[in-house]
Amino acid sequence: MVRSSRFPVPRIPVALLGLLLAVPPLRGDFRGDKTVFVSRELHVSIGEGDEITLSARPLPGEGLDAFIKRFTEDPGTKKEILSQNEGVKLLRNDVFVRVPYRLLSENYRRIAIEALFPQDTSDGKGWNHGVRALTGKPESLWRIAEWFTGDGANYREIRAANGLQSLQTDRGQQVRIPLKLLLPTFRDAAEAAAGPLVPLEFGRDEKGRYALYRLQRGEALYSAVVVRLTGRVHAEDVNAKAAEIAERSGISDVRTIPVGYAVKIPVDDLSPEFRPPDDPERIEEEKGRLEATQFVNRVRAVNLAGVTFVLDAGHGGRDTGALVEGVEEARYVYDLACRVERLLKKHTRASVVATVRSRAPCGDGRSEMVSDYRTARVMTTPPYDLDDPVAGVNFRWYLANSVLRQVEDRGGSEDRTVFVSLHADSLHPAVRGLMVYIPGEKYLKSSFGKSGGLYATRREVREAPRVRFSHRDGIKAEGVSRQLAEKIVSAFRSASLPLHAFQPIRRNVIRGGRQWVPAILRYNRIPARVLVEVCNLNNPDDRRLLVSRSYREKVAQAIVSALVEFYGGEGGRTVTAEKRRDPSSAPDSPSAENP
Ligand SMILES: [Zn+2]
C-alpha cells in the first residue's frame, strides 16, 4: 500500500508540452530520411536501404572518447565514426554526430527501434514488429533480423516462425521475432512487457473524443477496460470510472454486457500508451521513456561484490499497512525482508542495510512464525519508533540518502547502491500480482526537506536537511530503476509468481484523480530505487499466497536473482557477445559515465 501524496503534481508541465508540440514526432529531413526527435540531444533517422542512424550532440564537457563509449560501448569504433562524420576531431555541442545502427550499444539500438517503431509490441514470448515502410519500401526480413537479433542470417528462423514464403514484407504486416532470437535488450523488454496489442478505434461525439473497445468473450468492464486501458487499480477509482464509462456507452448493467459490445472510453481517461499516435501526452510519455532508456546500469559485480543494498520493509510499529481479513501487510513484508536479507548474506557478497528492524532478530525462515513487526523501528540515529507513519517514511529516505553518502565517502559509487521497498497492496479485487513502482522523472521535485522538531533530533536529517535533484538525476533514476524493475518482473515470471496482467511497471501512482511518485522514491537519492507491491491483499488468491511461507521464500529468491542479474549475472552467465567486446564490462570494472 502506498500512502496518499500531499504533494500532487500536475499531469503535464505546460512548458514541456509546448516544446514537444513544436517538434513533430516524425518528418523528413534534408537527406530525405525519416527522422524522429527523441530529445534535443538525440535524433534517430532511417534512410535509403533502411539504414538506421542515431544522431546525437555531446553533453556539456563530454569528450570524443566518452561520447563514443556512451553510444557504442566500444572504443574500437572511433575511427569508423570519425570517417562517417567528415573527420570531426573535436565535439561541439551544436553539431550532431551520426552513429550507424550496427555500431550502437544494444541499449541505443533499442532506443532507435522504439523511436522509429512506437507501435511495435512485445508480450513475454517475443517481439511483434509492424512493418512501416518508413522509406517508402517495406523493410526486408533480413533487415528486421539484423535489427532485432544482431544477425541478418536469422531471417530464416524468423521466416519459419511466421510461416512466410518471401523475404519481402508488406506495409502493415506483423512480423514476430521469437524471444530466443532477440538481442538481450529486446528480450528484457519483451519479458517485462504487459501483453498483446489492444484493438481500439477512435472517434468523436458531442461529449468529445473517445476510443471504442469491443468486449471479448469472458472479459469484464472492470479488468479488460478500466484496469487495462485507464491504469486505475484502486477499487473506488475502478468502480467510479466503470460507472462513468458504462453510462457513456449506454450500458445499464455492467454484469450483462454482450460479447462484442462497443464500449466508449474518453481519450482523456486512457493511459498514454493507448491514446492515438498523435496525442501530445502519448508523445511526451514515449519521449520521456526513451530519454530515460539511455541510462542503464553498466556496472558488473559478480555475486554483488561491492554492492550496497538498502532494504526497506514497508510500515511496521503501530502502522499495519493494509489490513484485509486480518492479514496485515506489515507483518508479511517484514518477514519477506528478513528472507531477502538472509538469502543475500548466504549467497552473495552484497552488504545489506535494513531501514527498519524489529527488536527481535529475524527467525531462520523455516518455521511459520514471522518476526514481530510491532517492535520495528526505523534505524536512524537515534532509531525512530514509527509513532507517525508519515514521519516514518521521511526518516526512511533520509536514512537511505545517508547510506549513499557513506558509500560515496568510502570511495564507492551510487551505481553500486540499490534501494528496494517491500509492500503489499490493497486494490480492486480483480487485480492481482506484482506491481513495481519506479520514480517517474516528471513527478520529482527539484528540492525538498524537513526541519525542526522530530527531524532536528536525527543525525541523518542534520547531515543533509534538503535533498536536491537535477533533470539529469531524474532521468537517470527513471532509466536505471526501470531496468531494475524489468529484472524483477522477469524473475517473477520465470518463477511463475503472479504479475499484474497489464502494466506491472509503473512510473507513478494514479489515485483519486491525482498522480504522484511515492515519497519513499520521490526524495530518495539512490538512482536504482523501486517500490515493490508483491501482491494485492484484496484479491483472495493473492492474500492466500502472501500468508504462505513458500510463496514468500520464492518472492525473496526472485528479488535476489533480479539483483544479481541487474549487476550482470553470476560469473558471466548473461554476458553477451557485444558486452564481451567491451573491456569495461569485465567483473568489478568501474561504471562508464552515463549521459
Ligand atoms: Zn504498503
468 C-alpha vs ligand 1 centroid, how far in Å?
25
Cα-to-centroid distance, 364 and ligand 1 (Å): 24
Amino acid at 316: G
- Measured in Å, residue 525 CA sits from the centre of ligand 1 at 20
Cell of residue 249, nine digits: 456507452
Distance 330 CA to ligand 1 centre (A): 7
Asked if residues 200 and 224 have their Cβ atoms less than 8 Å apart, the reply is no
- Which residue type occupies 508? N
Give the Å distance between the CA of 394 and the centre of ligand 1: 14
User: Ligand 1 centre from 480 Cα, in Å?
Assistant: 23
| Spatial contact of 92 and 60, defined as CB atoms under 8 Å apart | no
Distance 404 CA to ligand 1 centre (A): 23
> Which ranges in 117-234 belong to alpha helices (H)?
141-149, 155-162, 184-191, 228-230
Residue 140 · residue 91 · CB < 8 Å: no
For residue 183, the CA-to-ligand 1 centroid distance in Å is 36
Report the greatest alpha carbon distance in the chain: 74
- The predicted pLDDT at position 23 comes to 39
> All 3 cell numbers of residue 18?
509546448
CA 329–ligand 1 middle distance (angstroms):
7
CA 224 to ligand 1 centroid distance, Å: 25
Phi, psi torsion values for 590, nearest 5 degrees: -70, 155
Distances (CA, A) of 286 to 9, 71, 298: 19, 20, 23
What pLDDT, on the 0 to 100 scale, is given for residue 33? 75
Find the 543 Cα to ligand 1 centroid distance in Å: 14
- Give pLDDT, residue 28: 39
N-terminal to C-terminal alpha carbon distance within the chain: 34
Q: 473524443: which residue's cell?
A: 209
Cα(483) to centroid(ligand 1), Å: 22
Distance 335 CA to ligand 1 centre (A): 14
**Residues flanking ion ligand 1, Cβ below 5 Å:** 1, 314, 321, 423
Cα 320 to ligand 1 centre (Å): 9
Report CA(282)–ligand 1 centroid distance (Å). Answer: 29
Per-residue pLDDT, 231: 93
List the pLDDT tens digit at each of the 595 positions of the chain. Answer: 665 444 333 333 333 333 333 334 444 344 457 999 888 889 999 998 899 999 998 888 888 888 888 899 888 888 888 888 876 666 677 788 999 999 999 989 999 999 999 888 888 789 999 999 999 899 999 999 999 999 999 999 999 999 998 888 999 999 999 999 999 889 988 887 766 668 899 999 999 999 999 999 989 999 999 999 999 999 999 999 999 999 999 998 888 888 999 999 999 999 998 998 889 999 888 888 899 988 989 899 999 999 999 999 999 999 999 999 999 999 999 999 999 999 999 999 999 999 999 998 888 888 777 778 889 999 999 999 999 999 999 999 999 999 999 999 999 999 999 999 999 999 999 999 999 999 999 999 889 999 888 999 999 999 999 999 998 899 999 999 999 999 999 999 999 999 998 889 999 999 998 999 999 999 999 999 999 999 999 999 999 999 999 999 999 999 999 999 999 887 544 333 333 333 333 333 333 333 3
- State the Cα–Cα distance between residues 414 and 405, nearest whole angstrom: 9
**Span from the CA of 424 to the centroid of ligand 1 (angstroms):** 6
pTM attached to this predicted model: 0.83
Grid coordinates of 551: 510463496
Distance 123 CA to ligand 1 centre (A): 28
Q: DSSP H helical segments within 366-411, as ranges?
A: 389-409
- Determine the distance separating the centroid of ligand 1 and the alpha carbon of 376, expressed in angstroms: 15
CA of 1 to the centre of ligand 1 (A): 3
Distance, CA 99 to ligand 1 centroid (Å)?
Answer: 45
CA 118 to CA 287: how far, in whole Å?
10
Q: What is the pLDDT of residue 457?
A: 95
3-state secondary structure of 582: coil
How many Å lie between the centroid of ligand 1 and the Cα of residue 314? 5
Omega of the bond prior to 382 within 30 degrees of 0, cis?
yes
20 alpha carbon – ligand 1 mean position (Å): 36
Q: Are 333 and 313 in contact (CB under 8 A)?
A: yes
**From ligand 1's centre to the CA of 430, what distance in Å?**
19
Q: What is the Cα–Cα distance from 448 to 466, expressed in whole angstroms?
A: 5
CA of 386 to the centre of ligand 1 (A): 14
- Give the dihedral of Cα atoms 265, 266, 272, 273; nearest 10 deg: 30
Q: State the distance from the centre of ligand 1 to the C-alpha of 388, rounded, in angstroms.
A: 14
- Using CA atoms, how far apart are residues 400 and 312, in angstroms rounded to an integer? 9
Cell numbers linked to 353 = 542495510
What is the CA(278)–ligand 1 centre distance, in A? Answer: 37
